[in-house]
Amino acid sequence: MSELDQGELRIFAGRASRDLCTSICDYLNLPLGQGHSEMFPDGEIIVKVEEDVRGRDCFIVQSTYNPVNAHLMEVLIYIDTLRRASAKSITAVIPYFGYARQDRKDEGRVPITAKLVANMLTIAGADRVVSLDLHAAQIQGFFDIPVDHMVAAPVIVDHLESMRDELGSIVFVSPDVGNVKTATMFATQMGADLAIIDKRRKSGSEVTSANLIGDVKDRTVLMVDDMISTAGTMCAAAELVMEKGARDVIAACTHPVLVGLAMERLRAAPISKVIVTDTIPCGNRCAPIEDKLVELSVANLLGEAIHRIHHNRSVSALFRNGAAGSKR
């Protein structure tokens, strides 16, 4: 294989991201690292690495979605296993970083769990963390080790560009004020207009979208967020823009968390497509919206990042040069 020394690099898959990790290894033309994990009847997790990793750069790929605690413990145990096996370096590739929404104290006597998880990964022995679209960018500062905070925008934009002719006149809509920066980034990359929804939340599970700032009449509305969780915000926004005369609504996100009433809401909402990535696998749980669902892969993006980290090359340059989908 050109340029990449297979003898010095090993990539291992946690149970949560085995398909994604296999695709990353295919991109890099590398075999999947030989290791496995399993759960004992009492709920404890055991990890076994079945090949020599002494003096090698090791990467463990594992998203920490539901069951979050089991997947988090697995990646911590994998890191400890690799450290005790004398790996040269250990990088935790966590495409979806669980607990990222608990990033500050918004009331008294509550934890900052994102910081706690950062400490746990560091103490376990990780030398570096790679993640995609953290819910709050400041989480990078919770770590005392390097963090490569990547974005899935190149993957989503490439897909939207491939649909450009059928989309017609487009406008990116931020479903709430907190998403304006993301919507602006996508609008800039695609040379599109921007509109903003003033969202008012009634409770933790109920959202009312009140006002629209911008013009959506007879246009295709694109709404992009880092994640879709219960889909309340996205679906309420879709209904509002359709009331304001939008021609179509397409929703996109990096992380398809899709819990609670998300499936029912998305199925009933005036949304023609739900574009997601495979940071969290959809599988059978997304059957209720399979006619709307488009799943994109971030394997090449993460594979390129792993290649650059292994060769001590810039990861941020990957995005500056617009080369996120290119193969070295």
Domain locations along the chain: 6-152+298-320, 153-296
> What is the model's pTM?
0.93
Q: Is the pLDDT of residue 280 over 60?
A: yes
**pLDDT tens digits, 93-131:** 999 999 999 999 989 999 999 999 999 999 999 999 999
Q: What is the pLDDT of residue 177?
A: 82
**pLDDT tens digits, 236-267:** 999 999 999 999 999 999 999 999 999 999 99
CATH class of the domain defined by 6-152+298-320 = alpha beta
Nearest CA to 19 out of 319, 321, 302, 322 is that of 302
Active-site hit among 88, 199, 292, 327: 199
CATH class of the domain defined by 153-296 = alpha beta
* CA dist., res. 286 & res. 264, Å (int): 10
Question: What share of the chain in percent tops pLDDT 90?
Answer: 87
Q: What is the pLDDT of residue 198?
A: 83
Banded model confidence at residue 178, pLDDT cuts 50, 70, 90: confident
Do 6-152+298-320 and 153-296 share a fold? yes
Q: Which residues contact 325 (CB under 8 A, 6 or more apart)?
A: 154, 155, 158, 300, 301
Tell me whether residue 199 is one of the annotated catalytic residues: yes
Which is it for the CA torsion 311, 316, 321, 324, positive or negative?
A: positive
